[in-house]
Structure 1
Amino acid sequence: MDGICTLGNDRVYDQLIALFNSIETIMGKDTPICVYPYDENTNLIAAEIARRPNVTLFGDLDSIQRWDDFAKSAWDTHPTARQIWQKAGSNGYHRFGTHRRYCAFDAPFDRFLYMDADTLLMSSVDFIFDKLTDNDCVVYDFQYKDLSHIYTVDSPKLTEVFSQKRLETEIFCSGFYASKKDFFPAEKRHWLIEQLKSGEAEILYPMAPDQTLINYMMMRSGASIYNFSLQLPTEGKTGCCVTSPHFQAEENILYDRGKRLTYLHYIGVSSQLFKKVCAGENLDFPYRDIFLHYRYLHEPEKRPQFQGKPIPYKQPPSLKTKILKKLGLTR
C-alpha cells in the first residue's frame, strides 16, 4: 500500500489540518495518511485524526524507540555536536523528535511519501510513486544548491566520504521525499553507526539533525536517489518554497510561470506565526490566503476575518537593533 506521512504534535495543529485538507483536495478523501508523533504533546491532533477515517496517528512504540535509539547513537559519535547545541541554547539533543519521520521505513506503508507538516499539496504525486519503481528515494527540491544545510562543508573528510559529484547531485531536503518500507533494516542501521564511529560523524551538520542524518543514511547506503529538479527540463520544473515570490494563485492552486506546483513548503514560517494568524492576528506571510483556504476548508465560518493592513511577518530591524548589531552586541 502507498501512503503519505508526516510528523507533528499540537504545536503544528493548524498546519496539519491544512496539509490533510490539501491532500484530500488533490488526491481524494481515501488517501491513507500517517502522522508520526514528534513527542507526547498530541491531544489536539489525536482528536482531529479521530474524525478522519483515512488518517492514523502512529502508535508503534517499539518502532519509535528503535529510531530514538538510532538517532542518539548516531549523534553520540559526533565530536562537537553537544557543544554546538549548547551554544545554540539546546540542552541534550537538538530538536529531538524530528528523526521520528524515519518510522516510515517500518510502517504502515510499503511505499511512502513524507511531507513536512508545513507543506501543502498542489498536484497529484502519482509521478513520484511511479519513479520509486526504479529508485530507492525520490525527491523534488533544489537543496543541491546549498550543501551547507546538509553537511559540514569545512570538514576535510566530507569529500573523502562522498565525491564532489555526489554532493552536487544527491543531497535533498528532508521535508519532501519518497522511499520504501524496510530500506533500513537493523543490520544496515548498525553498519551506518559503525561508519560514523570510524570518524565520518564529523561531516554531519548538527543544526539540521534529521536532514543531515537522512542524507547520510541514503548516500552512505548507496541508495539510488532521483531528483526531479535535476531531471526535468527547465521549462517543466517548478519551485516549491514560500520564499519564491513569483508564484501565481488560481483557484487556490499555485503556478510557477504557468506550471502547476507539486507542493508548497512554508519553510522559515514559524509554527507560532500560523497559530497567531489562526487566532485572528493580522500578520502577513507569503501565500497566506492559500494556507487559510486549506486550513478552513471544512469550517469556513471559523476563518479569521482581518481588518486593516496586515503586519509583515518579518519586520525590518529597528534603529536600536541596527545600532546594537553594528556594535556587535546582537546577532
Structure 2
Amino acid sequence: MTRGIYIVANDRVIENAIALLNSIRCYDLEVPVYLIPFNENYQKVADTLSSLHQVQVFPYLQLVEEFTNRIGEIFAQDFLALPNKMRKLVAWFGPLDEFIYIDTDIVVFEKIADNLDKLSEVDFFCCDYHHANDKLRNIFSPLVKEQQIFTDAQLEDVFNSGFWGSRKGIITQEQMEATLRECAEHREYFDFTEGVTDQPILNFLVLKLIAKRGNLVKIPGGGAGSWAGSPNFQQQNYMLYDKGKRLKYLHWAGIKMKPGSPYWQLWQHYRYLHHGKFALVPKVTSRLFSLIK
C-alpha cells in the first residue's frame, strides 16, 4: 500500500509551493509527494520541487487533461470561477492508495502523513472548523437545508477544501461524473458568492458518495484550529499552538500572501528554510540541509 501527498500547483504559486514542501520535508523526509499541474505552466515549479524535495509530477497527465475537458463539457462556462481548481479531484484516481491533499497556501507543523492512520476508521477525513464557524457559507445555499438535500447531521460534516484525506477507489470515475452532472444541473444548491470554485462541489461529492467521514478536530476538548485569520495562536520554535495544542497546519485560506499578512514571518521561515536564513529551526532540518545543498 502506498501513502502520500498530492498538491496542485503551477509556476505562479512557486513561492507558496516551496514553503509548503520545505515544511513537509522538515518533519518527513520520505513521504511521496505528487504535483498535479494546475495548467500547462508548471515546469519551473515541478523542476524546483523535484530538485529540492523529490516531488514527482502526477504520472497520469492524460487523465488530468481528459478530466479537465470533461469539466468543461459538464459545467456551463460561467459556473466555475477557476475550473482548473477541480483538477484536485483526480487524486482519487492517482498512484497513491491513501493520500492527503494539501493546498499550497499551507505550511505543516508535524509529520502530516501520519494522519492517514485515520483511514482505519473512515474513508474520508478533513481537519478544520468550517462546520462550526462558517457553517454553510462558501459551500451551500440555504436551499440545501430547506429542501433537505442533506440531513442536518450530514451538513455538520462540511469542510474546507484545502486539506483532506481519502483513499483510492472510494469514488469511481463513473460515480464522480454522474454526481458532477447533478451539480451542474443545480447551481442553486451552491454558494459561489465569494468566488470559491472547487469547495462547494467537493463537499457535495463527499457528502453524497462517502458515508464514513471524520474530522480530526472533532475530539474531546476540540482539536487545534488551522486558519491564519485567527489571531490567537501562540508561536514557539516556528510552530503554532492553540490553547496549548499544536496546530497540524496553518492555512492562509482567503488571505493574500504578502508582507504584513498574518503570520508572515512564520511563512518566511519555511519559505527560506533551505537557504539557512533563520537561526532557529526544528532538529530534523540539519539532515534536510545536507540532502538539498
Which of residues 241, 258, 268 in structure 2 aligns to 1:292?
268
Give 2:84's aligned residue. Answer: 97
Bigger Cα displacement from structure 2, 217-226 vs 238-247 = 217-226
Give 2:288's aligned residue. Answer: none
Q: Tell me how far apart the structure 2 counterparts of residues 177 and 158 of structure 1 sit (CA, whole Å).
A: 27
Which of residues 143, 147, 152 in structure 1 aligns to 2:141?
152
Does structure 2 retain, via aligned residues, the 8 Å contact 1:73–1:193?
no
1:8 and 2:9 matched: yes
Aligned pairs (5 A) from 1:276-291:
283-291=259-267
Q: Tell me how far apart the structure 2 counterparts of residues 101 and 193 of structure 1 sit (CA, whole Å).
A: 14
Does structure 2 retain, via aligned residues, the 8 Å contact 1:31–1:54?
no
SS at match of 1:249: strand
Alignment TM-score, normalising by the size of structure 1: 0.76
Once the two structures are TM-superposed, the CA of residue 73 in structure 1 deviates from its matched residue by: 4.4
Give 1:49's aligned residue. Answer: 49
SS at match of 2:148: helix
- Closer, same or farther in 2 for the Cα pair 1:25/1:53, shift >3 Å? closer
Give 2:63's aligned residue. Answer: 63
Q: Tell me how far apart the structure 1 counterparts of residues 58 and 146 of structure 2 sit (CA, whole Å).
A: 35
Give 1:214's aligned residue. Answer: 202
Aligned pairs (5 A) from 1:112-131:
112-131=99-118
Which of residues 211, 220, 223 in structure 2 aligns to 1:223?
211
Q: 1:61-85, CA deviations, whole angstroms, 9 ceiling, x for partnerless residues?
A: 2221342144334433xxxx82xx6
Once the two structures are TM-superposed, the CA of residue 44 in structure 1 deviates from its matched residue by: 2.0
Q: Tell me how far apart the structure 1 counterparts of residues 188 and 215 of structure 2 sit (CA, whole Å).
A: 26
SS at match of 1:226: strand
1:19 and 2:20 matched: yes
Aligned pairs (5 A) from 1:109-188:
109-145=96-132, 146=134, 147-153=136-142, 155=143, 159-167=147-155, 169-188=156-175
Does structure 2 retain, via aligned residues, the 8 Å contact 1:139–1:178?
yes
Q: Tell me how far apart the structure 1 counterparts of residues 164 and 146 of structure 2 sit (CA, whole Å).
A: 23
SS at match of 2:39: coil
User: Structure 1: which 5+ runs fail to align?
Assistant: 86-92, 274-282, 304-331
Q: Tell me how far apart the structure 1 counterparts of residues 57 and 180 of structure 2 sit (CA, whole Å).
A: 29
Once the two structures are TM-superposed, the CA of residue 158 in structure 1 deviates from its matched residue by: 5.7
What amino acid is the match of 2:253? I
Alignment TM-score, normalising by the size of structure 2: 0.85
What amino acid is the match of 2:202? I
- Structure possessing the higher radius of gyration over alpha carbons: 1
Identity %: 28
What amino acid is the match of 1:299? H
Give 1:315's aligned residue. Answer: none
Q: Tell me how far apart the structure 2 counterparts of residues 246 and 254 of structure 1 sit (CA, whole Å).
A: 10
- Closer, same or farther in 2 for the Cα pair 1:48/1:296, shift >3 Å? same
- Closer, same or farther in 2 for the Cα pair 1:158/1:69, shift >3 Å? farther
Q: Tell me how far apart the structure 1 counterparts of residues 125 and 215 of structure 2 sit (CA, whole Å).
A: 6
- Closer, same or farther in 2 for the Cα pair 1:59/1:270, shift >3 Å? farther
**Could you say what the CA RMSD is over the residues aligned between the two structures, in angstroms?**
2.3
- Closer, same or farther in 2 for the Cα pair 1:214/1:112, shift >3 Å? same
What amino acid is the match of 1:298? H
SS at match of 1:218: helix
